């Protein structure tokens, strides 16, 4: 017995996947249905369309779709593409390809199409459904997007019907109640990689191109000190914790760590930073030079800034900062501008990393910003700490803040992440945004067009969520520097935004599993990628139907066609 409703064990696709069609194919199919009906049937077939996210198909969706199918002869279900869903930084929970498969598996659904637009208006204009079915909650809705859809439907002689809404479920509430699924995260990552052409060979080739890239790094240098302690008990003189110091370890943070990471990943780094005349600054210079970093230091500080963390086992108890801000004066800005213009002549990309300690000033950006944008192909900016200013980087190619830094920069802690990202790109004129979410992974935001004179420049952003590669975090320090540095190196080597984001997520996931700030080596990352399932899994063929290869379900009561599924 042949089971046509399940996948072939040798890699074939289930028959129902033929229902998933492209927009142009659907347009041709619907026209053919109408043409055939006009030629040989007493009355035309009724085309019904539903549109939505369908993140998790629940009983409410089933009743809604069955109600819609009862209104006509052919049911078309269009789903909003991943990039257009604005329900949170990790939504949709189910990628568009799997959402389409879930709907296609329903017997009473005839065709499923992924709509790349923010509303169904454009698709409704092409399909011209006789009936457009919406949920009962839209019966009195004044939502501008729905009103525009209704206008399109009615302008072509169609009508809008509202479902009875017998059982009310919410995908958002169901998702909030669900535990995190590592299996779904793996499937999402496989789909993201497949969607953007990221595989083992492309990542390997990218790492090869990243080697030798010349990166200019500008920003504040911090000495990150870890004091390892034993909690010996309660102090005798008052009820406070008593710690016994066991050891201490020093690391270079901020822009210095970004420069070390550039070298570790195979690039060549020149660091422009501000240091002091103290022993810690001398240690920083020797450490950087030993690692292969070219240091162009401005000695404009009395001493190197230090952040000291006191730790017991793997737990950070508290932090003490000695980070006096020393902004560059006019003489310092002139000296820094001269160094930057000199280094920029041979640089492939530049990283500006602002901790708010005084290296990156408005005056310096004003002096060199325009020149660097013309002489360097990739300008990337990041910031950290309460004084770092991510909005200072105007017209950069890439900004890499954490979600907290992003929301702080635009002073918006209540809106959806997509709205906050749009404000950030609108106010800075930047091209790309890569937001670090810690344990939740990364979210990329990209403009529809990178031409400021195109309508796509101000259009809704495209976005993609990459789940975290790591199930645990040993030390989150260095995550932003890792994302910023790896993504910049990848972009400078010709990668697209998604491929750069994948490499950045990989580097960051390895980094946060290490204590302290130890620059990752490119050999480690390359070895790590060789075992990633999403890069080596076989690519399943897309089930995109052609207009001449599939016909809709016959109208009720008519003979069954050979092409009926």
* CATH classification at residue 371: 3.40.1190.20
pLDDT at 91 over 70: no
CA 185 to CA 189: how far, in whole Å? 6
**239 found inside a domain:** no
pLDDT at 541 over 70: no
The 10 Å Cβ neighbour count of residue 321 is 12
How much is the average pLDDT of 53-70? 83
Selection from 392, 423, 396, 393 nearest residue 407 by Cα: 423
Judgement on whether residues 432 and 473 belong to the same structural domain of the protein: yes
Judgement on whether residues 161 and 209 belong to the same structural domain of the protein: no
Confidence (pTM): 0.69
**328 found inside a domain:** no
Sheet of 398-399, strands arranged across: 294-298, 268-274, 214-219, 349-354, 378-383, 398-399, 432-436, 442-446, 462-466
DSSP letters along 251-279, please? EEEEHHHHHHHHHHTT-EEEEEEE--SSH
CA 188 to CA 465: how far, in whole Å? 9
**Please, which residues have CB within 8 angstroms of residue 288's CB and are 6 or more apart in sequence?**
252, 256, 259, 260, 271, 295
Q: Tell me what percent of the chain is helix, strand and coil, each rounded to the nearest 5.
A: 40, 20, 40
**255 found inside a domain:** no
* Position with higher pLDDT, 210 vs 513: 210
CA 25 to CA 126: how far, in whole Å? 11
Positive or negative: CA dihedral 172, 464, 122, 102: negative
How much is the average pLDDT of 63-84? 87
Structural domain span for residue 71: 15-178
- Contact between 359 and 330 under an 8 Å Cβ cutoff? The reply is no
**235 found inside a domain:** no
Judgement on whether residues 154 and 20 belong to the same structural domain of the protein: yes
CA 153 to CA 119: how far, in whole Å? 13
Scanning 391-496, the segments in alpha helix (DSSP H) are: 403-410, 417-428, 479-492
**CA 475, chain centre distance (Å):** 22
**469 found inside a domain:** yes
pLDDT for res 8: 36
* Position with higher pLDDT, 236 vs 524: 524
CA distances from 340 to 255, 337, 367 (A): 15, 5, 10
CA 409 to CA 424: how far, in whole Å? 8
- Contact between 405 and 423 under an 8 Å Cβ cutoff? The reply is no
**143 found inside a domain:** yes
User: Picking from 77-86, 316-325, 329-338, 533-542, which range would have the lowest pLDDT averaged per residue?
Assistant: 533-542
Judgement on whether residues 357 and 463 belong to the same structural domain of the protein: yes
Average pLDDT, the chain: 82
pLDDT for res 270: 97
Determine the 3-state secondary structure of 315 from DSSP: strand
pLDDT at 375 over 90: no
**What confidence tens digit (pLDDT) does each residue in 461-497 have?**
888 888 888 777 777 888 899 999 999 999 999 999 9
Judgement on whether residues 160 and 282 belong to the same structural domain of the protein: no
**Please, which residues have CB within 8 angstroms of residue 287's CB and are 6 or more apart in sequence?**
252
User: Picking from 53-62, 114-123, 273-282, which range would have the lowest pLDDT averaged per residue?
Assistant: 53-62
Judgement on whether residues 401 and 507 belong to the same structural domain of the protein: yes
- CB under 8 Å, gap of 24 or more: what pairs does 297-300 form? 297/271, 297/272, 297/273, 298/272, 298/273, 298/274, 298/328, 298/332, 298/335, 298/336, 298/339, 298/359, 299/274, 299/275, 300/274, 300/326, 300/328, 300/329, 300/332, 300/358
Judgement on whether residues 368 and 487 belong to the same structural domain of the protein: yes
- The secondary element (H helix, E strand) that includes residue 107 is none
CA 403 to CA 407: how far, in whole Å? 6
CA 462 to CA 482: how far, in whole Å? 23
Give the domain-ending residue among 116, 149, 178: 178
CA 70 to CA 208: how far, in whole Å? 57
Burial of 500 (0-12, 13-18, 19+ CB in 10 A): buried
CA 394 to CA 425: how far, in whole Å? 9
**What confidence tens digit (pLDDT) does each residue in 280-310 have?**
999 999 999 999 999 999 988 889 999 999 9
pLDDT at 5 over 60: no
Determine the 3-state secondary structure of 441 from DSSP: coil
**What confidence tens digit (pLDDT) does each residue in 140-149 have?**
778 888 899 9
* Position with higher pLDDT, 427 vs 38: 427
Judgement on whether residues 490 and 447 belong to the same structural domain of the protein: yes
Confidence of residue 459 (pLDDT cuts 50, 70, 90): confident
Write the CATH number for 74.
Answer: 3.40.50.620
Give the domain-ending residue among 178, 211, 230: 178
**94 found inside a domain:** yes
Provide the strand spans (E) within 255-395. Answer: 268-274, 294-298, 305-312, 315-322, 349-354, 378-383
User: What b/e readout covers 328-352, taking b as 16+ CB neighbours within 10 angstroms?
Assistant: beeebbebbbebbeebbeebbbbbb
pLDDT for res 337: 93
**505 found inside a domain:** yes
Confidence of residue 540 (pLDDT cuts 50, 70, 90): very low
**Please, which residues have CB within 8 angstroms of residue 289's CB and are 6 or more apart in sequence?**
295
CA 561 to CA 565: how far, in whole Å? 9
**Structural domain count, the chain:** 2
End-to-end alpha carbon distance in the chain: 17
Judgement on whether residues 206 and 346 belong to the same structural domain of the protein: yes
What is the percent of the chain where pLDDT is above 70? 85
> Tokens in use for 308?
């000291």
Judgement on whether residues 140 and 208 belong to the same structural domain of the protein: no
- Contact between 307 and 323 under an 8 Å Cβ cutoff? The reply is yes
Give the domain-ending residue among 503, 520, 537: 520
pLDDT for res 444: 92
Judgement on whether residues 60 and 154 belong to the same structural domain of the protein: yes
* Position with higher pLDDT, 28 vs 221: 221
Confidence of residue 4 (pLDDT cuts 50, 70, 90): very low
Judgement on whether residues 155 and 278 belong to the same structural domain of the protein: no
CA 203 to CA 522: how far, in whole Å? 12
């Amino acid at each position: 017995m042949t089971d046509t409703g399940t996948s072939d064990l040798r890699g074939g696709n289930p028959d129902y996947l033929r229902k998933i069609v492209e927009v142009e194919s659907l347009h041709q199919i619907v026209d053919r249905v109408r043409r055939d009906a006009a030629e040989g049937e007493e009355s035309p077939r009724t085309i019904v369309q539903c549109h939505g996210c369908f993140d998790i198909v629940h009983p409410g969706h089933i009743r809604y779709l069955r109600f819609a199918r009862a209104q006509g002869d052919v049911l078309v279900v269009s789903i909003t593409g991943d990039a257009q869903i604005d329900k949170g930084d990790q939504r949709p929970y189910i990628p568009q390809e799997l959402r389409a498969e879930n709907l296609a598996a329903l017997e009473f659904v005839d065709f499923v199409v992924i709509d790349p637009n923010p509303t169904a208006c454009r698709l409704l204009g092409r399909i011209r459904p006789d009936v457009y079915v919406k949920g009962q909650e839209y019966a009195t809705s004044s939502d501008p997007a729905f009103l525009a859809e209704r206008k399109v439907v009615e302008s072509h002689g169609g009508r809008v019907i509202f479902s009875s809404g017998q059982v009310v479920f919410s995908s958002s509430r169901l998702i909030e109640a669900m535990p995190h699924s590592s299996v779904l995260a793996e499937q999402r990552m496989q789909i993201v990689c497949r969607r953007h052409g990221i595989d083992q060979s492309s990542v390997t080739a990218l790492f090869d191109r990243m080697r030798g890239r010349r990166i200019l790094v500008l920003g504040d240098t911090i000495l990150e000190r870890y004091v390892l302690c034993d909690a010996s008990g309660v102090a005798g003189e008052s009820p406070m914790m008593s710690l016994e110091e066991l050891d201490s370890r020093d690391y270079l943070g901020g822009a210095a760590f970004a420069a070390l990471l550039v070298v570790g990943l195979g690039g060549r780094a020149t660091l422009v930073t501000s240091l002091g005349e103290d022993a810690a600054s001398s240690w920083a210079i020797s450490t950087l030079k030993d690692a292969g970093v070219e240091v162009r230091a401005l000695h404009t500080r009395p001493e190197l800034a230090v952040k000291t963390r006191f730790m017991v086992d793997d737990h950070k108890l508290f932090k003490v900062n000695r980070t006096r801000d020393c902004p560059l004066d006019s003489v310092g800005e002139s000296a820094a501008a001269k160094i930057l213009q000199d280094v920029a002549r041979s640089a492939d990309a530049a990283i500006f990393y602002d901790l708010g300690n005084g290296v990156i000033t408005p005056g310096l950006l004003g002096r060199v910003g325009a020149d660097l944008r013309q002489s360097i192909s990739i300008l990337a900016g990041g910031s950290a700490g309460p004084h770092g200013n991510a909005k200072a980087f105007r017209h950069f190619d890439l900004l890499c803040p954490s979600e907290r830094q992003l929301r702080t920069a635009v002073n918006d802690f209540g809106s959806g992440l997509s709205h906050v990202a749009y404000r950030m790109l609108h106010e800075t004129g930047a091209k790309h945004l890569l937001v670090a979410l810690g344990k939740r992974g990364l979210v990329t935001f990209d403009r529809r067009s990178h031409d400021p004179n195109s309508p796509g420049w101000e259009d809704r952003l495209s976005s993609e969520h990459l789940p975290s590669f790591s199930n645990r975090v040993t030390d989150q320090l260095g995550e932003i520097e890792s994302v910023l540095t790896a993504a910049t190196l990848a972009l400078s080597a010709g990668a697209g935004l998604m491929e750069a984001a994948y490499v950045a997520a990989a580097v960051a996931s390895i980094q946060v599993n290490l204590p302290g700030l130890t620059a990752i080596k490119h050999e480690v990352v390359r070895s790590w990628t060789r075992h990633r399932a999403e890069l080596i899994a076989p690519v399943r063929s897309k089930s995109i139907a052609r207009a001449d290869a599939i016909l809709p379900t016959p109208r009720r009561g008519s003979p069954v066609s050979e092409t009926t599924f």
